[in-house]
Chain A
Amino acid sequence: MLEIRNLHVALEEEAKPILKGVDLSVEAGKVHAIMGPNGSGKSTLSYVLAGRDGYEVTEGSVSLGGEDILELEPEERAAAGLFLAFQYPVEIPGVSNMVFLRTALNAQRKARGEPEVSAPEFLKLIREKAAELNISSEMLKRPVNTGFSGGEKKRNEILQMAVLEPRMCVLDETDSGLDVDAMKLVANGVNALRDAGRSFLVITHYQRLLDHITPDVVHIMVDGRIVETGGPDLALRVETEGYGDLVKSVA
């Protein structure tokens, strides 16, 4: 599904290398987790995948379902089925959540040459998905993420994911700022979306999210590279031993 080959990325402004040769292959239907200490490049990877400005890919490639996506605009990547759940979802006062989601869904459908979803169809769809995530109709009417609690923002990200139905979901520190109950709700939302045609890349600093979203493969990223890859037990090892030894092994 997602193929990252020898990816080198630098910050555009400072010409400072952040990713130094990332190789990663996420198969269809699988959940991969990337763990790593602060500053290892995890969030940069998520932004580069989604196409944010300010990063320069100096080497390597990224393909989604066999198509090179590095030359695509962020909206084209979204239409191709990539979704990034933001670590810090953005507040957009003045745009209702509902209008935002319908605009996004129809823009993607239009880009793929599919018919737009009518207002009643959309209402039915969003009500159903929102109920599963315990999102009230009041929250749907409110402006996007505006005045939402940390938990509400993250649930709203998962709601967008559920409505847009991407095939490749990248979750950037979705657990940050969440208490246990909120995390369970978010994890249940993610688990409900797991299926054979959909892949996940779960980026997290802590192992605890992985108690609720069980990964198939765990990668450890240190200093812009994947330094170790293993099963779910690798996450547990990091949890007990910390990143110390892994960081040293790179140094």
Chain B
Amino acid sequence: MAVPRKALAEAKRLEAETLLAAAPLPAGAHAGWARDARASARSRLLEMGAPHRRDEYWKYTSPESLIAKDPGEAAPRADDADPFDGIGRTTLVFVDGVFAPDMSDDPAEAGVEIQPLAEVLAADIHWARDLFGVLEAAGQDPVSRPLATLNTAVAEAGVAIHATGKAGRPVELRYIHRDPGSDVFLRTLVRLEPGAEMTLLESGAAGARFNTCMEVSVADGATFHHVRSQGREHERRAATALFARLGAESTLKSFTLTANGKLTRNEAVLEFTGDDAVAHVAGCAIGDGDFHHDDTVFVTHDAERCESRQVFKKVLRNGAVGVFQGKILVKPGAQKTDGYQISQSLLLDEKSQFNAKPELEIYADDVQCSHGSTSGSVDETSLFYLRSRGVPEAEARDILVLAFLDEAVQEIEDDALADAVRAYVADWMERRRG
């Protein structure tokens, strides 16, 4: 363990240099502000250094394979089921990180304004100027999140979504993975004007290795729903970051389903800047075998009467590993904050593992914050109860697993979407029942 601090900092800086050298400089025209944002990200990354497994922030998840030169190989799954089956939506398809217009719906029909990232970054005057790299940079304190900074420096593909009213139907970003060795960076920018509403769906593995970063600005009274499913490929790796800033009386609800994947690190960094806002982040992870899944969440309350909820459930078996690092920071003056955090794992055997690090840091005196974390196995009494009613054991176990996950699934606002996700998970369970 005795790596001197200075040597570690130097190693991290060198690694950051290597990362930047390996990634191609973004081609295409850049407006001055965009070029500045890229340059700032590069210098910030060099300063903070690459993630290292000695970092406290990476204590439970090794970042090595996320930054290695070789992205690794992941066999694409052609037969992956649609996690949003039956949901009407406007779908934009990316194949190995490249937008595929011929496979996509017409973005003009989405009810929101959608532009490719490259076009946005080339525009001298654009709303994205206040967002691109801005929320990411603001979210670097108190811990640095270098993979997101790397994304700001190098991601070329992605979309910018501007919602000015109530979108009629969801927009889906569907990430298809074909090249077994693809290393994909995507950037998503979302701006919701006051009172606007939209639902963003994401699905698929995107690549053998996927680095994605989303910045979301939710203005006063606006509502943003986000539901994603990370794809069922066994060997894929992903590092995702969601940065969101919430105005007064706004709502953000984000749900992530992860079934399979060698390594997944999902970060969410949310900040309340206006009073009476609501933010819920939730996730279900179901892993079997070579599966490492990490949810790292940081919620900052810097306004009054805001409600935050973190609900994370993981079902792990055959040596699968789950990690939860969740923090609620209540700044001075953020009175009447209502913060709730729960992370639970269901360990289906003794080989599986769950590490949880819940944290509260509170500087206001009139707040309500709670957190809880549990790890357990399937309840034998419940199992017997179901079986005594005639439900066969394997099916009864699945029912209890689905029931365990449901508190997180319930965080999906739209019932039809929640049911689609339930069906997708049930299907995953059934496949594994054999």
Contact residues of A with B, CB < 8 Å? 50-53, 73-75, 77-79, 83-84, 86, 89-90, 92-95, 100-101, 103-105, 107-108, 111, 143, 160, 164
**In contact, B403 and A95 (Cβ under 8 angstroms):** yes
Q: B389 near A: Cβ within 8 Å?
A: yes
**In contact, A92 and B382 (Cβ under 8 angstroms):** yes
CB distance from B227 to the nearest CB of A (A): 19
CB distance from A74 to the nearest CB of B (A): 4
Q: Known contacts A73-B393, A95-B399, A103-B395; is A78 also within 8 Å of B387 by CB?
A: yes
Supply 12 A–B pairs (Cβ within 8 Å), ascending by A: A51-B388, A52-B384, A73-B393, A74-B384, A74-B388, A75-B391, A78-B389, A79-B390, A92-B403, A104-B390, A107-B392, A107-B395
User: Could you say which residues of chain B place their CB within 8 Å of the CB of A111?
Assistant: 390, 392
- Partner pick for A160 among B389, B393, B404, B407, CB 8 A cutoff: B389
Q: Which of B371-409 contact A (CB under 8 A)?
A: 380-382, 384-393, 395-396, 399-400, 402-407
CA distance A200 to B386 in the complex (A): 21
CA distance A108 to B387 in the complex (A): 10
Taking CB as reference atom, which chain A residue is nearest B391? A107
Interface bits B324-365 vs A (CB < 8 Å: 1, else 0): 000000000000000000000000000000000000000000
* Total contacting residues, chain B, CB less than 8 A: 23
User: Could you say which residues of chain B place their CB within 8 Å of the CB of A74?
Assistant: 384, 387-388
- Partner pick for A78 among B380, B390, B400, CB 8 A cutoff: B390
User: Could you say which residues of chain A place their CB within 8 Å of the CB of B387?
Assistant: 51, 73-75, 78
CA distance A77 to B393 in the complex (A): 13
User: Could you say which residues of chain B place their CB within 8 Å of the CB of A95?
Assistant: 399-400, 402-403, 406
6 additional contacts (CB under 8 A) given A73-B392, A101-B389: A51-B387, A78-B389, A104-B390, A107-B390, A107-B395, A111-B392
User: Could you say which residues of chain A place their CB within 8 Å of the CB of B391?
Assistant: 75, 103-104, 107
CA distance A218 to B42 in the complex (A): 85
CB distance from B257 to the nearest CB of A (A): 16
CB distance from B372 to the nearest CB of A (A): 15
Taking CB as reference atom, which chain B residue is nearest A54? B380
**In contact, A53 and B384 (Cβ under 8 angstroms):** yes
User: Could you say which residues of chain A place their CB within 8 Å of the CB of B402?
Assistant: 94-95
User: Could you say which residues of chain A place their CB within 8 Å of the CB of B389?
Assistant: 78, 100-101, 104, 107-108, 160, 164
**In contact, A84 and B380 (Cβ under 8 angstroms):** no
CA distance A94 to B398 in the complex (A): 12
CB distance from A246 to the nearest CB of B (A): 30
Instruction: For the complex of A and B, list the 6 residue pairs with the smallest distance between their C-beta atoms, beginning with the closest.
Output: A94-B403, A94-B406, A78-B390, A108-B390, A104-B389, A74-B387
Q: Known contacts A92-B403, A94-B402; is A86 also within 8 Å of B393 by CB?
A: no
User: Could you say which residues of chain A place their CB within 8 Å of the CB of B382?
Assistant: 90, 92
CA distance A108 to B386 in the complex (A): 12
Max chain B Cβ within 10 angstroms of own Cβ: one of A50, A89, A107, A160: A107
CA distance A89 to B380 in the complex (A): 13
CA distance A105 to B389 in the complex (A): 8
CA distance A103 to B400 in the complex (A): 13
CA distance A131 to B395 in the complex (A): 29
- Partner pick for A75 among B393, B399, B400, CB 8 A cutoff: B393
CB distance from A174 to the nearest CB of B (A): 15
Taking CB as reference atom, which chain A residue is nearest B385? A90
CA distance A108 to B391 in the complex (A): 7
